[in-house]
Amino acid sequence: MRATSRIALHLVGCLTAFGCRATPSTDTPQGAEAQIQAPAEGHSAGPAQVIRGAQVFDGERSLGTPTVLIRDGIIVAVGDSIEVPAGATVTDGSGHTLMPGLIDAHTHIWQRTHLEQALVFGVTTELDMMSAPAGLAVLKKRQRSGKDDDIADLRTAGHALTAAGGHGTEYGLEVPTVAGPGEVDAFVEARVGEGSDYLKIIYDDLVALGRPSPTISEETLEAAIRAAHAREVLAVVHITTLAQAEDAIAGGADGLAHVFVDAPPSEALLRGAKASGAFVADTLPVIHALCGRERAAALAEDPRLRPYLAPAQRRALTGVAAPAKEGLSCETARGAVAALHRAGVPILASTDAPNPGTVHGASLHHDLELLVEAGLSPQEALAAATIAPARAFGMDDRGSIAAGKRADLVLVRGDPLTDITATRDIARVWKRGTVLDREAIAGRVAEEVAAIEAARSAPPPAGSESGRISDFDDSEEKIAAFGAGWEPSTDAMIGGGSTVTLTVVKGGAERSRQALEIRGVIDGATLPQAWSGAMFFPGEGPMAPANLTSFDTLSFSARGDVATMRVMIFAQQQGTMPSIREVELSAKWTRHELRFADFGIDPYDVTAIFFGLPAVAGEGALRIDQVRLEAKG
């Protein structure tokens, strides 16, 4: 085997967060007819538009079936006796309901396509609650100049305020952290300076989710809230427990990111939140994903949504989530939402997309259904996705259908005020008066599905029929039964200092005479991107795709002097990001079986399978043997 890998392993990929502060709205009359505003710079003035015959939900209530007049991306009139201007385009909304564009009050934006996906499903504004701010200024400039009407609008927190090693630092990106109250002012000043629209504060040790991590002190939390308010930005606090929520509200937080999952709300919390006017972004879809994926999988199969869900989005909704902490209850979370709502605390519809079990856009419709199950009326749930987040975040130009507001609109078939799932049956979406070509998007999705079906129909790799990959008893030239063989792989290709040596040694599992020893060093300075291990290529060449759909499970024997090992599967469907699973090891040989479904992939285009050391600085060694693919049962 060669001493260096032939390919570049990208654990993090090129993630660019696009975010901006929306252009401040100008004051406009709120009567039946507003003075027509000039279009934003670069936003072409077109013919007037008229929508008539539809039931109009204005963000709070039904207005009956008034006519809505739009010019230059702005609603200029809503009423029963509006004259249709000459040359206006007219949309007949009979049998439909017209709503304000939906607002998702908690997402994460890592690429522009997330905002494209959101708009397809009627989400015209997304509130990003933590991302890298690279690209922020570019998108702000584009949005100010009237461009990007084919993607959802965006507000962003940029980097979240968190402790060293705390939540938000685990994603392979270099992020600033704070050690105590004395560092808060500089942190908040930097976020405002780079364009963050509000401050996101991580006050969560993740114990409730079974993943303990450092977090900031209560003193640091209070200092951060004061620093945000001194700069006239909202302070939104990430929590998962009742005690954390109580501290955040007592400290003056403007809102909570997530509903707590460990206990019903206390009377002290309900009184404090009601008195302060604080809001709660529920994120029930991601909480339900931790409880189980059945509901999200049903969302993916809804015929009103499915034609617009790209295959990667469908996989995100139907894949298997990592196990949640035992005892985590979705009923507790829904009950907390119900109690908060009854107490008069504003609930903001939100998803936490694109975390496992959620996708941008479609998952907000799941949240609307969950809010109704929690006790909100359909009207109240719709308000939670329109006027409520607009008010909470000071977005006075959207969230309702009234003269002077942006023409961010969604027309749906049926009546969501009686059946909340009717929001999924979208007939048309407007972003600042521009109609989104949803059918073109459906066409692209259909083409992608067809391409995947072609890949799934491709022949499997020659020699793979038995499923055997390697038992390491053959000569080095034939060490793999099929594919392009094995290679060492480390982070040296991205400038890291990790090393690895692969050696076929005696002492394999069971009757096997030999095994592959992986001995290496993980460079702590390169963590969390560091890696060291062996890569198997199932295709004709390194990183060439292979159709492995005849199999559903990867099995192997392993032992080591490290507590765990990493198994990663690369597939073209995932871009440069692998899917990773940790496997426990001991000094004794143990057989392991990992389903492709557990990696969240359909194995029609697998490019590599990696076996290696855990992401822990230092030296270690492990052995693998009898590596196989198991046929579907």
Q: 33-76 pLDDT, tens per residue?
A: 322 233 344 444 568 999 999 999 999 999 999 999 999 999 99
Q: Report how far residue 71's alpha carbon sits from residue 37's, in angstroms, rounded to the nearest whole number.
A: 8
Can you tell me the mean pLDDT for 424-439? Answer: 97
Residue 53 pairs in a beta bridge with none
**pLDDT above 70 as % of the chain:** 90
Which residues neighbour 593 within 8 Å (Cβ) at sequence distance 6 or greater?
A: 553, 554, 555, 630
Q: Report helix angle 284-291 to 362-373, nearest 10.
A: 80
Which one, of 132, 114, 153, 136, lies nearest residue 22 by Cα? 153
**468-631: CATH, from 3.40.109.10, 1.10.620.20, 2.60.120.430, 2.40.128.720:** 2.60.120.430
Joined together, the tokens standing for residue 447 give: 């083409």
- At residue 110, the pLDDT reads 85
Across the chain, what does the average pLDDT equal?
Answer: 89
Residue 429 pairs in a beta bridge with 410
Which one, of 127, 159, 194, 204, lies nearest residue 392 by Cα? 127
Q: Report how far residue 69's alpha carbon sits from residue 85's, in angstroms, rounded to the nearest whole number.
A: 9
For the chain, the maximum distance between any two Cα atoms, rounded to a whole number of angstroms, is 88
Segment among 11-20, 206-215, 386-395, 498-507 with least mean pLDDT: 11-20
For 6, 39, 127, 562, 624, the CA distances from 488, given in Å and listed in that order, are 8, 57, 42, 19, 14
CB 521 within 8 A of CB 39: no
User: In terms of DSSP bridges, do strands 123-128 and 102-107 run parallel, antiparallel, or are they unpaired?
Assistant: parallel
485 pLDDT more than 50: yes
For 8, 500, 586, 613, 631, the CA distances from 535, given in Å and listed in that order, are 11, 11, 22, 12, 21
Which one, of 596, 609, 512, lies nearest residue 559 by Cα? 512
Cα first-last separation, the chain: 34
Beta strands in 157-300 (DSSP E): 199-202, 235-238, 255-257, 279-281
Q: Which helix (H) or strand (E) segment is 460 a member of? A: none
For 48, 53, 56, the CA distances from 96, given in Å and listed in that order, are 21, 8, 9
Which one, of 385, 427, 354, 384, lies nearest residue 574 by Cα? 354
CB 290 within 8 A of CB 326: no
Q: How confident is the model at residue 265 (pLDDT cuts 50, 70, 90)?
A: very high
CB 404 within 8 A of CB 28: yes
Q: Report how far residue 35's alpha carbon sits from residue 432's, in angstroms, rounded to the nearest whole number.
A: 17
CB 147 within 8 A of CB 118: no
Joined together, the tokens standing for residue 392 give: 């909470």
Segment among 213-227, 325-339, 379-393, 610-624 with least mean pLDDT: 325-339
Can you tell me the mean pLDDT for 440-464? Answer: 95
- At residue 31, the pLDDT reads 31
Q: CA 473 from chain center: how many Å? A: 44
- At residue 483, the pLDDT reads 95
Residue 629 pairs in a beta bridge with 554
CB 551 within 8 A of CB 538: no
Joined together, the tokens standing for residue 240 give: 């998962």
474 pLDDT more than 90: no
- At residue 519, the pLDDT reads 97
Q: How confident is the model at residue 27 (pLDDT cuts 50, 70, 90)?
A: very low
Joined together, the tokens standing for residue 320 give: 């298997």
Q: Report how far residue 111's alpha carbon sits from residue 109's, in angstroms, rounded to the nearest whole number.
A: 6
DSSP conformation class of 169: S
Can you tell me the mean pLDDT for 237-258? Answer: 97
Q: Report how far residue 461's alpha carbon sits from residue 497's, in angstroms, rounded to the nearest whole number.
A: 34
Delimit the domains of the chain by residue range: 468-631
Q: Is the dihedral of CA 416, 419, 424, 428 positive or negative?
A: negative
DSSP labels, 584-599:
E--SS-EEEEEEGGGG
- The amino acid at 68: V
Joined together, the tokens standing for residue 614 give: 């855990």
For 18, 122, 199, 330, 391, the CA distances from 385, given in Å and listed in that order, are 22, 11, 21, 21, 11
Q: CA 20 from chain center: how many Å? A: 18
Q: Report how far residue 519's alpha carbon sits from residue 503's, in angstroms, rounded to the nearest whole number.
A: 8
Joined together, the tokens standing for residue 214 give: 């450092």
- At residue 327, the pLDDT reads 59
